[in-house]
Amino acid sequence: MDSVTKSLATLALNPTSVSHSSTNSPAAWRDTLSATSNVPSSFELIKTLVYKPKTAKTATPVPVVVIARESASVNAAAIGKKLNLKDLRLASEDLLNDFFSLDKDSLSPLALNQTSFPKVVTVVDASIADSSVPLALHALSSSSTVFLSSSDLLKYLRSLETEDVKLQELDLQNLESAPAAAASASKAPAKEKEDAKIEGAVQIAIGVKKEVDFPTWYTNVLLKADMLDYYNVSGCYILKPWSFSIWEEIQKWFDAEIKELGVQNSYFPLFVSSKVLEREKDHIEGFSPEVAWVTKAGNSDLEEPIAIRPTSETVMYPYYAKWIKSHRDLPLKLNQWNSVVRWEFKNPQPFLRTREFLWQEGHTAHLTKEEADIEVRQILDLYRRVYEELLAVPVIPGIKSEKEKFAGGLYTTTVEGFIPTTGRGIQGGTSHSLGQNFSRPEMFNIVVEDPTDPTNQRKTYVWQNSWGLSTRTIGVMVMVHGDNQGLVLPPRVACIQVVIVPCGITVNTSTETRTKIETACDELAKTLKKAGIKAKADLRDDKTPGYKFNDWEQKGVPLRLEIGPNDLAKRQTLGVRRDNGVKNPLPLENISSLVSQLLEAIQSDMFKRAQETYYSRLREVTAWEDVVPNLDAKNVVVIPWCEVEACEDDIKERSAKASEPTDERAPSAGAKSLAIPFDQSRWTPIEPGKTKCPACGRDAKRWTMFGRSY
């Protein structure tokens, strides 16, 4: 950092700089900065990409350094064409190290200095000059950031120019697209070349298009809809009322349903001793890298570190062994609504991958496998209904492969969702059969006398299930339904279903008319509330109707009702649907039942549209060569699979290799098995012994969904 400060100071630049914990992705960097003090209230991340052009093996490569706004899409092929360089590929870590003595997470325009600048081609996106907010640059370290204005950044870069080597200022957004067949690097989907910024977007809108910069779109929607805020412990987020109320709706519905099944709520401690945690080897192997350990209380060191539960199997089952003394104590069905901690080191993502998350975990013990199996499926069906009936998100119920099942369990069932924008699968909720793996004598020894044995000699180890559904549900809902105006809420989980906005009031409107309109809005809200509809009249006097429209659209309120002087005269209100923008006048007569019907229609249309999309992207594939192209086209492939674990590993490896990344932010990923759907009837029947697995040629067993995933 000292060298940076010095070279900046020679240009009379003394930028703000902050230290923070080390970050390894744009999302984590933004996240961390947002939670650091002395950071400007708005800023833009700058990314620095280094490409290596195709070079003769004997020649020293001249890397291309591209400096762009984080939100900009970078088309390497187009840059290569412009610069007349062939086959730009993202540079290896070795090359970065050779040229800059830095890794990719520390890279920044400040890595360019009088020594390195002449050795590379430096491209700066011309649009940087348009940025009016401070730019965040790594200060040669992933745990340090400086803020420079765009003009100061350009001033710095230009200061490095020599007679021979000049800065290349290119308009990256409008570079002529490289022909599709030109180079393998041109595989970036055409859409990426669009400007991520939405034309004419007003200040409060989402700012970037869902199809172009999905990660930024996602976090912007969450922030602008007031669902969530970043927190100063990385990977932890604040659930604000607008999202927490969705969780409350899910809780209310699911809690009532499981109570009908005889499940009771309880609360087990947050802490688990290391000895107990480590009892089940496979299980702990699955969780131990992510366990958070308490080692101190006040100023005293604890005698033994104590873990924070990553899940409660080992917390609960020693007591199941104590409480279950007879078959008359079965079934035992307990659930708890709590939070668990899994200290993941991968990139955190709000709702989808967080270090602490809210969920319910059900743990049941049964006398027979049959009874346990039935419950696994009953619960899974409730999870399906949470997604489909509450969140209007289609899911496909199925069973996980051996590789993907719950650590230590017998088999895992899942409801598998799909994010069309990225073409990735997402696990929605899982209901596990643990079999007798945890009840065995060498494990927790949960045993009763077999009541069917006339000699009363035979022991039976209980059959156990565990099942969990988390706040991930909310993230999936946002990703599936949100659009470029922001969040779109399904009516059943919206904490405001209808917002009523007074309209057509101008400076010429009489006080009397204004009062009339506002009273009408207020009364309409009351009428709807009486009918059990969650309605709100937005009577803020410092905001225009246009502002309010935007505001509630961002927040995803399913239905807007406008009332202006003309509406009042006609005894009607103008209804505007959030999901499809359709406007219709609605007579105030009988308004409650009209609105109820409309909300139901919205709920059902949202589900149908999402389901059609999901189904259209599920591709029956029987030849290996069709797998990767289908994945690249953002589909999930369904193949007649052999169900051999080695084959799954192989599919993952081969599908990852096959697609080269052109942008660090869309890392290539291999496909893994998502689920073996229970309903196999959708696909051509598998002929035993004839239908072969397209990956390995072994006999196929069942149609299995494979895809890239979250």
Would you tell me which residues interact with a copy of itself (CB under 8 A)?
A: 21-22, 229, 231-233, 236-241, 244-245, 247-248, 264-273, 276, 288-299, 303-306, 308, 318-319, 322-323, 328, 334, 338-339, 341, 343, 345, 355-356, 358, 540, 542
CB of residue 309 vs a copy of itself: minimum separation in angstroms?
A: 11
CA distance 385 to 175: 47
Distance of CA 71 to the CA centre of its chain: 18
For residue 313, what are its two tokens? 């199997």
CB of residue 244 vs a copy of itself: minimum separation in angstroms?
A: 5
Three-state DSSP class for residue 465: strand
- Name the phi and psi angles at 607, rounded to 5: -65, -45
CB of residue 104 vs a copy of itself: minimum separation in angstroms?
A: 20
Our CB check for a copy of itself shows the closer of 245 and 513 to be 245
The answer to whether 235 touches 344, Cβ cutoff 8 Å, is yes
Our CB check for a copy of itself shows the closer of 11 and 133 to be 133
Our CB check for a copy of itself shows the closer of 183 and 496 to be 496
502 strand-pairing partners? 563
CA distance 129 to 471: 40
Residue type, 464: Q
Our CB check for a copy of itself shows the closer of 315 and 606 to be 315
For helices 591-616 and 511-530, the axis angle rounded to 10 degrees is 70
CB of residue 25 vs a copy of itself: minimum separation in angstroms?
A: 17
CB of residue 270 vs a copy of itself: minimum separation in angstroms?
A: 5
Residue type, 409: G
CB of residue 18 vs a copy of itself: minimum separation in angstroms?
A: 13
| Side-chain-side CA neighbours of residue 63 (13 Å) | 22
Residue type, 73: S
Our CB check for a copy of itself shows the closer of 3 and 21 to be 21
Our CB check for a copy of itself shows the closer of 157 and 308 to be 308
C-alpha dihedral sign at 612, 614, 615, 619: positive
CA dihedral 540, 545, 546, 547 (to 10 degrees): 0
Three-state DSSP class for residue 422: coil
Our CB check for a copy of itself shows the closer of 83 and 276 to be 276
Our CB check for a copy of itself shows the closer of 414 and 466 to be 466
CA distance 287 to 121: 46
User: Going by DSSP bridges, is the β-strand pair 332-341/356-366 parallel, antiparallel, or unpaired?
Assistant: antiparallel
Residue type, 89: R
Place of tokens 């809690």: 255
CB of residue 337 vs a copy of itself: minimum separation in angstroms?
A: 9
Our CB check for a copy of itself shows the closer of 2 and 541 to be 541
The answer to whether 686 touches 699, Cβ cutoff 8 Å, is no
CA distance 446 to 372: 15
Our CB check for a copy of itself shows the closer of 16 and 295 to be 295
CB of residue 355 vs a copy of itself: minimum separation in angstroms?
A: 8
CB of residue 264 vs a copy of itself: minimum separation in angstroms?
A: 4
Q: What is the H or E stretch that residue 318 is in? A: helix 313-323
Helical residues (DSSP H) of 558-590, grouped into ranges: 565-569
The beta strands (E) that lie in 143-215 are given as 144-148, 168-170
Sheet holding 396-399, edge to edge: 264-265, 332-341, 356-366, 463-470, 424-435, 411-419, 396-399, 672-677, 702-707, 636-641, 618-620
Three-state DSSP class for residue 667: coil
Our CB check for a copy of itself shows the closer of 251 and 422 to be 251
For residue 232, what are its two tokens? 């100063």
Geometric angle at alpha carbon 78, from 630 and 82, rounded to 5°: 165
CB of residue 557 vs a copy of itself: minimum separation in angstroms?
A: 16
- Name the phi and psi angles at 568, rounded to 5: -60, -45
CB of residue 608 vs a copy of itself: minimum separation in angstroms?
A: 31
Our CB check for a copy of itself shows the closer of 189 and 318 to be 318
Our CB check for a copy of itself shows the closer of 301 and 625 to be 301
Query: What DSSP assignment string belongs to 617-646?
Result: TEEE--SGGGHHHHHHTT-EEEEEE---HH
CB of residue 444 vs a copy of itself: minimum separation in angstroms?
A: 11
Our CB check for a copy of itself shows the closer of 73 and 314 to be 314
